[in-house]
C-alpha cells in the first residue's frame, strides 16, 4: 500500500510492498528519509531537486515523487529493461501494469521477479537471495544500511519499521 508524504514543494510516496531494500534513500538523504522519525519521510527536509534525484535512484519504484512547485515530474524518453546480475529485471520508463482487479497502474520504475519465487509477482521481493538464483546481468551496487545489514540478507517487510510509519 502506497503512503503519501506531502511537503510544500514535493510529494513523496512509498510502497513497502515494492521495496527491495537497496537503502540508498536512507544513506544519501537522511534529513528526508529517517527510520527513527515518525513519519519516516520529511518531504521538505531538503531541496526538492535533491529529493527527486534521490528518489530516481530507487530501482524498484517503491519511492516516487510528484512535484508541487511547477517543476516537471519524473519522465523517461523510453522504456528500458536491464537485468540485474543474479536478481530482478529493472524496468524504467512508462510501465503499464494491469492489476488482478482489472485496473491499470502506470509506474516510472519497477524491479520485476526473474527467479520465479517472489510472493509479490510480478514484483521482486528478494526471494532470489534465498533460492540461489543465478543469471547474467549488470552488477548493481547495494550499500549496507539499517534495512540491509548484510548484502544477501535484507530485512523482511514485517521487520521494516517503515511498515508502521
Q: Residue 164 — pLDDT band, cuts 50, 70, 90?
A: low
At residue 11, the 3 state secondary structure works out as: strand
- Is the whole model's pTM more than 0.85, yes or no? yes
Q: Is residue 61 part of a domain?
A: yes
Question: What's the CA gap between 140 and 137, in Å, rounded?
Answer: 9
CATH of the domain at 51: 3.30.70.20
Contacts 24+ apart (CB under 8 A), 104-108: 107/61, 108/61, 108/64, 108/74, 108/76
Q: Would you say residue 99 lies in a domain?
A: yes
- 137 lies in a domain? no
* 5-35 confidence digits (pLDDT tens): 999 999 999 999 999 999 999 999 999 999 9
Full domain range(s) for residue 101:
80-129
Asked if pLDDT for residue 3 goes beyond 80, the answer is yes
Shared domain for 125 and 87, answered yes or no, is yes
In the chain, which ranges are E strands? 2-6, 10-15, 63-67, 80-83, 89-98, 104-112
Q: Which of 153, 120, 145 is nearest to 27 (CA)?
A: 145
Backbone dihedral region of 93: left (phi > 0), alpha (psi from -120 to 50 degrees) or beta? left
With 70 as the cut, is the pLDDT of residue 57 above it? yes
pLDDT in tens, 41-50: 999 999 999 9
Which residue would you say has higher pLDDT here, 109 or 145? 109
Question: For position 159, what pLDDT does the model report?
Answer: 87
Long-range contacts of 91-96 (CB under 8 A, 24+ apart): 95/61
Report the alpha-carbon distance of residue 79 to residue 94 in Å, rounded: 6
Q: Please, how many CA atoms are within 13 Å of residue 133, restricted to the half-sphere of its CB? A: 25
Q: Are residues 121 and 98 in the same domain?
A: yes
Question: Is 138 a domain residue?
Answer: no
**Do 55 and 11 share a domain, yes or no?**
yes
Largest CA distance in the chain: 46
Please tell me whether residues 61 and 88 are part of one structural domain: no
Identify whether residues 45 and 8 lie together within a single domain.
Answer: yes
- Cβ pair 161, 16 in contact under 8 A: no
Higher pLDDT pick, 154 / 124:
124
pLDDT, average across residues 62-87:
96
Domain count, the chain: 2
pLDDT of 165 over the 70 cut: no
Same domain membership, residue 112 and residue 63: no
pLDDT at residue 129, rounded to an integer: 92
Amino acid at each position: 500500500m502506497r503512503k503519501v508524504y506531502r511537503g510544500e514543494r514535493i510529494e513523496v510516496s512509498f510502497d513497502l510492498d515494492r521495496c527491495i531494500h537497496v537503502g540508498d534513500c536512507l544513506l544519501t538523504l537522511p534529513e528526508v528519509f529517517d527510520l527513527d522519525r515518525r513519519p519516516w519521510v520529511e518531504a521538505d527536509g531538503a531541496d526538492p531537486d535533491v529529493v527527486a534525484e534521490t528518489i530516481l535512484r530507487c530501482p524498484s519504484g517503491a519511492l516516487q515523487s510528484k512535484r508541487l512547485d511547477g517543476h516537471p515530474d519524473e519522465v523517461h524518453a523510453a522504456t528500458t529493461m536491464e537485468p540485474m546480475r543474479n536478481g530482478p529485471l529493472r524496468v524504467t520508463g512508462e510501465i503499464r501494469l494491469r492489476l488482478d482487479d482489472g485496473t491499470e497502474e502506470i509506474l516510472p520504475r519497477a524491479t520485476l521477479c526473474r527467479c520465479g519465487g517472489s510472493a509479490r509477482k510480478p514484483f521482486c521481493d528478494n526471494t532470489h537471495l534465498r533460492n540461489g538464483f543465478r543469471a547474467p546481468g549488470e552488477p548493481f551496487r547495494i550499500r549496507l544500511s539499517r534495512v540491509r545489514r548484510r548484502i544477501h540478507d535484507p530485512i523482511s517487510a514485517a521487520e521494516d519499521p517503515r511498515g508502521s510509519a
